[in-house]
Amino acid sequence: MAVSVGALIGVMERIAPRRLALDSDRERVGLAVGSPESLIERVMVALDPTPEAVAEAVDKGAGLLITHHPLLFRPLPAVRTDTPVGRVVASAFAHNLALFSAHTNLDVVEGGVSSLLAERLGLKEVEVLEETERERLLKLVVFVPESHVEAVRQALGDAGAGHLGNYSHCTFGVSGTGTFLPQQGAEPYVGERGVLARVAEVRLETILPESLLEAVLQAMRRVHPYEEVAYDVYPLCNQGKAAGLGRIGRLPEPRPLGEFIAAVKSALGVDEVAYAGELDRPVVRVAVCGGSAGDLVPKAVCRGADVLVAGEVKYHDGLLARQEGLAVVAAGHDATERLVVPALARRLRQEADRLRWEVEVLEAGPGEVLWRTG
Ligand SMILES: [Zn+2]
């Protein structure tokens, strides 16, 4: 059965919530062309909404193209087919292809662009380089009759509650007695109107990020047998997961910059990088950021990085890095970001499998290289 564009947007919202996009970017991300109600059988993931990617998506029967870079970077005053962006919009409409993007929201999340880059370079003890948001955590306590404890526990965990590090479905339960007096109009699952009921119940508690609250409550209500579910939600002071720009970590052991650069080239499949720094100086603490990252030079310096690996860094940011003793490796905007295409496609396939959706997830071809060296 086909799924709606809106349903896939819902999945993307869990992977890279729109609210995590940087302020300057929030209006650009999301659905740019098409309707959430369109039904699709295929979705394609690409780095850029280029005419080639759109043509490939149309060719392969995709109804949705998800890209990292937004199509409408600037407000579009007119949709004219004598402009490149206008032609892409017209072509997408003509072929009933929806266009959606997750940009800085996909940069900052765990499993997003910079976190994948850190992983690809084999960094250890990886942390966010510049925090932009920290998830608020909540405690959910729900009172469940003993017969339904397992079903509710499963539903809470499946909806994303009770995740602690590498553990899912974490809950705690304590048995007790619930009481209630069904009033006029009540249709109680146990007991009868006008008689005080005493029921063996379990106080089931778990932790969850605030962003999942609605989904978790819905999942809980779906399997809880009571007409009126008794539950409490408490705000917590525990620190949730950080999201932010870039990542910083360390190499398993120090190595000279020259050797590290060779490893970066091989990890990213590029023949050349631009770099600043002394090749024989050892590096161990590595900051990374996909795409343009010159703004992160001061942060990398103050977090004690020896080298910043980025897509591209402007001349003056490079000068500043040199003055601060920070080496810089610019490996190419696309080379540092394209890791996200297969990774995002994999996540979408997992979600589609989990939800038993019959939707095929395709990855766009690599496209033509923009910058050549010569
Ligand atoms: Zn980019």
**Under CATH, what is the fold of the domain 113-133+243-331?**
3.40.1390
- Distance in angstroms (rounded) separating the CA atoms of residues 373 and 363: 26
Do 236 and 134 form a contact (C-beta atoms < 8 A)? no
Cα-to-centroid distance, 200 and ligand 1 (Å): 56
Q: Mean pLDDT across the stretch 15-28?
A: 93
Please report which confidence band the pLDDT of residue 169 belongs to, taking 50, 70 and 90 as the band edges.
Answer: very high
Find, among 82, 367, 66, 167, the residue nearest to 90 by Cα. 82
Share of residues in the chain with pLDDT > 70 (%): 100
Cα-to-centroid distance, 131 and ligand 1 (Å): 18
Cα-to-centroid distance, 299 and ligand 1 (Å): 19
Cα-to-centroid distance, 292 and ligand 1 (Å): 7
Q: State in words which class domain 3-105+338-363 has.
A: alpha beta
How confident is the model over 79-93, as pLDDT tens digits?
999 999 999 999 999
Instruction: With a cut of 80, say whether residue 373 has pLDDT above it.
Output: no
Structure tokens at 274: 């631009």
How confident is the model over 201-252, as pLDDT tens digits?
999 999 999 989 999 999 999 999 999 999 999 999 998 889 999 999 999 9
Which residues make up the CATH 3.30.70.120 domain(s) of the chain? 136-235
**pLDDT score recorded for residue 367:** 78
Give the 3-state secondary structure of residue 352.
Answer: helix
- Distance in angstroms (rounded) separating the CA atoms of residues 210 and 247: 24
Instruction: With a cut of 80, say whether residue 368 has pLDDT above it.
Output: no
Cα-to-centroid distance, 67 and ligand 1 (Å): 11
H or E segment to which residue 363 belongs: strand 360-363
| Cα-based distances in Å from 131 to 22, 246, 345 | 11, 9, 26
Structure tokens at 360: 């095929």
Q: Mean pLDDT across the stretch 291-319?
A: 96
Do 65 and 54 form a contact (C-beta atoms < 8 A)? yes
Cα-to-centroid distance, 102 and ligand 1 (Å): 11
Which is it for the CA torsion 274, 294, 104, 94, positive or negative? Answer: negative
Q: Mean pLDDT across the stretch 146-159?
A: 96
Do 265 and 331 form a contact (C-beta atoms < 8 A)? yes
- Distance in angstroms (rounded) separating the CA atoms of residues 95 and 353: 27
Cα-to-centroid distance, 216 and ligand 1 (Å): 33
CATH for 136-235 is 3.30.70.120
How far is C-alpha 352 from the geometric centre of its chain's CA atoms?
16
Amino acid at 342: P
Cα-to-centroid distance, 184 and ligand 1 (Å): 61
**pLDDT score recorded for residue 166:** 85
Please report which confidence band the pLDDT of residue 354 belongs to, taking 50, 70 and 90 as the band edges.
Answer: confident
**pLDDT score recorded for residue 374:** 77
**pLDDT score recorded for residue 266:** 98
Instruction: With a cut of 90, say whether residue 361 has pLDDT above it.
Output: yes
Give the 3-state secondary structure of residue 276.
Answer: strand
Cα-to-centroid distance, 311 and ligand 1 (Å): 8
Cα-to-centroid distance, 365 and ligand 1 (Å): 17
The pTM assigned to this predicted structure is 0.85
**pLDDT score recorded for residue 296:** 97
How confident is the model over 46-105, as pLDDT tens digits?
999 999 999 999 999 999 999 999 999 888 889 999 999 999 999 999 999 999 999 999
**pLDDT score recorded for residue 73:** 86
**pLDDT score recorded for residue 137:** 96
Cα-to-centroid distance, 317 and ligand 1 (Å): 17
Find, among 63, 131, 51, 46, the residue nearest to 342 by Cα. 46
Cα-to-centroid distance, 349 and ligand 1 (Å): 23
DSSP state of 228: S
DSSP state of 164: B
DSSP state of 356: T
Phi-psi region of 210 (alpha: psi -120 to 50; beta: other; left: phi over 0): alpha
- Distance in angstroms (rounded) separating the CA atoms of residues 36 and 11: 13
- Distance in angstroms (rounded) separating the CA atoms of residues 346 and 159: 19
Do 110 and 75 form a contact (C-beta atoms < 8 A)? no
**pLDDT score recorded for residue 250:** 98
Cα-to-centroid distance, 21 and ligand 1 (Å): 13
Instruction: With a cut of 90, say whether residue 299 has pLDDT above it.
Output: yes
Residues bordering ligand 1, an ion, CB closer than 5 Å = 291
Which residues make up the CATH 3.40.1390.30 domain(s) of the chain? 3-105+338-363, 113-133+243-331
**pLDDT score recorded for residue 45:** 98
